[in-house]
Structure 1
Amino acid sequence: MSAGLDPRLLARAREVVADTTGFRDDAIAQEAVERVLRAELARGRVPTEVLSELQQLGSPLAYTLVRAVLVGETYFFRQPEHFRYITQEGIPTALRHGAMHLRGWSAGCATGEETYSLAACLLACAPAGMPVEVVGTDLHEASLEAARRGTYGAWSRRESAPALHPVYELLNGRQVSILPEVRKVTRFAPANLLAPLPERYGQFDFILCRNVLTYFSASARDAAIVHLARALAPGGLLFLGTVEVDRAPPGLTREGPPELQAFRKPRPEERTFAQLPTAPPVPVPRMTPAPRRLSAPVLVSPTPPPSPPPSPARMHLQALERIEEGNVAGATAVLELLVKQAPDYLPGLLELALLRERAGSRDAAFPLMRALRTRAGQLPPDALVDGPEALPARFYLASADAYLNLGALE
């Protein structure tokens, strides 16, 4: 089908899609890419002109390509076992730990059925008067517009996914509309999983990101999971698709059976931190008793050696503690000192860059990500890097690449 298309044009188009979405090459629908390119050429444009536009990252054509390849399959209460677990385990646990509100994020929400399902679930189980808020995000603005309208047909209601909680009302024989009380606690916004969610969105008790990462390359998936995990409130639950990961993401613990693909962020009191190194004991000199009538010698106690400074990993953990306490300024101060004292400590560079990004300081995050990419690229890809979690160097390289590529596209 690609006959007649300039191979350079086709390759560049696929590269733009991969850089923007994080999709694996084999997950990018060739037919969709070719359809967009042929439509451009049919308008009278020459291949060199189209190729030139594709070199301009963030161009309208790049957006059209991304929109063409995105997969929007979703329906109400898809994977009902996740909603049952939230109802039976997640919300009661949050309430036992003194939750004052319930917040959820549907990441990669498409046309919003999952977002409204989560909102209905939280509303049905929250105590009377408890604030509930659910955010749905997606790359595709047209899908978000459909989600905001909140009107759906039969395809969004499947027999395989029963309506576990009140979420919509019947408009006519074929369409339904989201209940006003569910719509009231739900909002939608554009966001890319390859970048951290802005700080203004806060943290969430429940995050759903199901059947999204299955299309991602390994490096893009790892970077996205880091952003998802960081958006979890302590004690929060992340739900992923059935085959998207085969182990708990860094910093999270598995909940329930493996097939549930639910992961929890430990609360501060559940975390174990390495002990600060202690100075070795100072030896006490043994003295020979002096003969009588002689003055006792004057002993000069040796000066104890200074305590060694905290290790980079320990300083990093101190910063994470402050982040979980909501002390962003304190965390920033610790991370700035860490990066200054240990500029080759990759987890510190990444942590500070993400903190800058979430605070809206992208100009301050970019140099850190560039430094991270340079230093990570100098290590063997599978070399384990010391930190709160031992991760391979390729993880840090992929995180930096994903962030820098996304920034160039915006």
Structure 2
Amino acid sequence: MYESRREPLPHAQVAQFAALLQRTIGLDPASIGEKAIERVVSERFAAWRAAGAGGLDPSRASIEAFWLVVNGVPEQLQALIEAVVVPETWFFRDAEAFNALVRLARVRLLDQPFKPVRILSMPCSTGEEAYTIAMAMLEAGIAPERFSIDAIDISGRALEIAGRAHYGGNAFRSRALGFRERFFAPVGDQWRLLPAVSERVRFHQANLLTLDTQTLEPFDFVFCRNVLIYFDRQTQHTAMRVLDSLLAPGGMLFVGPAETGLMMREGMASAKLPLAFAFTRPEGGLAGGALPGGASGRGWGEYVLGDRSGALFAAIASAERAMELATRAATSKVPVAGLSRAVATVFAQRSGSGAHANDAPGRSFSIGLPAATAPRASSDMVMTNAKPAAKPDLLKQAHALADTGALLEAASVTRGYLEAHPTSADAYYLLGVIADAQGEQTEARGFYKRALYLDPEHGEALTHLAAVLGLEGDRAGAQLLLARAARVSGGRHE
């Protein structure tokens, strides 16, 4: 047996594996960064060698040999995919999406009294979302025979967990836990989902991008949250065609908070349900996914924001200027905290925008953040044996270090804080600011998105992510985020 240890890999080798993952599951390497991919490949390479490297002579068990194995042995490719796809989910996360589902399902059942409502969760990860859908429907008094739930994921390991339906404390992070008493039975330090719920969901293993939609009856409601953001634009377009083909006439698609701009770009219409992120197919279909308003010559700003588009473009420019200040902080004494103040001035006055994009938390699914920046949450995080809490002033200390330009020290302290508070949106936001100041735009984007997963109304993360998108050329996405930030800022001052 060979020693299992990580080895640094050449950039060219990492790029090879990144391209393979992009072809196979649509993963945009830029969405998680080369460091994350290098970490995953290095760990899988070390594990392969530790397992005997398929009987190869140790001197021949090279990364080149591993590359050939991954391309020739489906189990090795699947193991690589399993390593890069990291499930992060819990029951009743962002309940408004499920509340909206129940309301819409009741209307749907009135329209089709002799046909059950069909619901799809994809990717379903370890099952929490699909089971939450079942619990929400049962809680609403909808009879089991009046709905069906299918759940699809590419990860066999995640589906095994979903099939067992046993969950630890980390799966119960919502504030209201009454559902746990009604639908779960305690088993040691875990909770077992009752058959009345678990039997309502059918799990399947499949790849979203290669799904044969002709074998599936269309669905009335599809949950596909926080996965499209990890695809490049062409793959996003391909995935949207798959999702569109899965929607029944009048069906509803639920996505994540960072994916609303993508929905509008692909021509989907907002259902205008606050905190639900629900979209429908417009009359006449998606027509290839052209930008809305293209035929009439209307720009994105006019379509989404009406007369406020000019002001918000100016806001983007102001946010970009704030980012320029931050990127110079690593080599000058400009305080990083100035970035927060500079961006905050963008929304000193409430905009009153008429934007209609839904603002709701999305799917609980993330891909391969570097271990140093995404500490693993222990299964007892919410239980009585949770880790000792970090000092309450630790995050303030990190902010103070960042203000003085001590970025490495500030990042280290922030990560220490995250070990005890793995769901702190403020901590991930601060890591994003630090990454911005160091010129690491890809990493910054990932941290801001992580903050928004945890707190969709985090105004600073919204504005900073908007600035990143603006610099990357995604003006539409930047405008939508800025409009959301303006509403958040206005709502908090009412």
Structure 1 position 31 matched with structure 2 position 21: no
- Bigger mean CA offset, 196-205 vs 69-78: 196-205
Taking the aligned partners of 1:273 and 1:243, their CA distance within structure 2 comes to 20
Shift in CA distance, 166/115, structure 1 to aligned 2, threshold 3 Å: farther
- Any conservation in 2 of the 1:138–1:192 contact (CA below 8 Å)? yes
Q: Tell me if 1:190 matches 2:205.
A: yes
1:114 match: secondary structure? helix
Structure 2 vs 1, CA of residues 239 and 74 (structure 1 numbering), >3 Å: closer, same or farther?
A: same
Q: SS where residue 76 of structure 1 aligns?
A: coil
**Aligned residue pairs, count:** 269
> Equivalent residue of 1:71, what SS?
strand
1:29-68 matches, within 5 Å, as 29=36, 30-42=38-50, 43=52, 44=58, 45-56=61-72, 59-68=74-83
Per the TM alignment, residue 261 of structure 1 is displaced from its structure 2 partner at its CA by 1.8
Q: 2:157 pairs with 115, 120, 142, which one?
A: 142
TM-score relative to the length of structure 2: 0.49
Q: Is the 8 A contact 1:241 1:261 kept in 2?
A: yes
2:21 is matched with which residue?
17
Distance 1:133 1:123 in 2: 12
| Most deviating of 8-17 and 150-159 | 8-17
Classify the secondary structure of the residue corresponding to 1:237. Answer: strand
Q: State the match for 1:181 in structure 2.
A: 196
- Is it true that 1:228 corresponds to 2:246 in the alignment? no
Give 1:74's aligned residue.
Answer: 89
Higher RCO (Cα < 8 Å, 6 or more apart): 2
Which residue in the other structure is 1:248 paired with? Answer: 264
Q: 1:178 to 1:264 in 2, by over 3 A?
A: same
The AA in structure 2 aligned to 1:22 is: G
**1:94 maps to amino acid:** R
Deviation sequence 1:65-118 (CA, Å, 0-9, x none):
111110200111112110011123x11321232242011111011100101111
Q: Does 1:114 align with 2:129?
A: yes
How many angstroms apart in 2 are the aligned matches of 1:61 and 1:129?
39
| Preserved CA contact (<8 Å) 1:17 1:62 | no
Give the direction of change, closer, same or farther, for the CA distance of 1:105–1:145 in structure 2 (3 Å limit). Answer: same
8 Å contact from structure 1 (residues 195, 224) kept in 2? no
**Mapped partners of 2:183, 2:230: distance in 1:** 30
Length-normalised TM-score, structure 1:
0.59
Q: Which piece of structure 1 moves more, 205-214 or 116-125?
A: 116-125
2:434 match: none
SS state at 1:211 partner: coil
Aligned residue runs from structure 1 range 96-175, under 5 A: 96-99=110-113, 100-125=115-140, 127-128=142-143, 130-160=145-175, 168-172=183-187, 174-175=189-190
Please show how residues 335-350 of structure 1 align to structure 2 within 5 Å. none
Structure 2 letter corresponding to 1:223: T
- Flag the structure with higher helix content: 2
Corresponding residue for residue 84 of structure 1: 99
Partner residue in 2 for 1:261: 277
Q: What is the identity, as a one-letter code, of the residue corresponding to 2:26?
A: G
Q: Select between 91-100 and 40-49 the one with higher mean Cα deviation.
A: 40-49
Describe the shift of the 1:173–1:230 C-alpha distance in structure 2 as closer, same or farther (beyond 3 A). Answer: same
Larger Rg: 1
- In the TM superposition, residue 188 of structure 1 has moved relative to its aligned partner by 0.4
Residues 153 and 62 of structure 1, relative CA distance in 2, 3 Å threshold: same
Taking a change above 3 Å as real, the CA distance of residues 2 and 114 of structure 1, as seen in their structure-2 partners, is same
3-state SS of 1:133 partner: strand
Provide the rounded CA distance (Å) in 2 between the counterparts of 1:109 and 1:249: 25
- 2:295 maps to what in 1? none
Contact 1:76 1:161 (8 Å CA) reproduced: no
Deviation readout 1:230-271 (Å, 9 max, x if unpaired): 1011121110000123143646421024753211246xxx65
Per the alignment, do residues 117 and 273 of structure 1 end up closer, same or farther by CA in structure 2, a change over 3 Å counting?
Answer: closer
Question: Within 2, Cα distance between the matches of 1:223 and 1:126?
Answer: 37
SS at match of 1:202: coil
The answer for the alignment partner of 1:212 in structure 2 is 227
On the 8 A contact 2:219/2:251 being kept in 1, the answer is: yes
Q: Is the 8 A contact 1:106 1:134 kept in 2?
A: yes
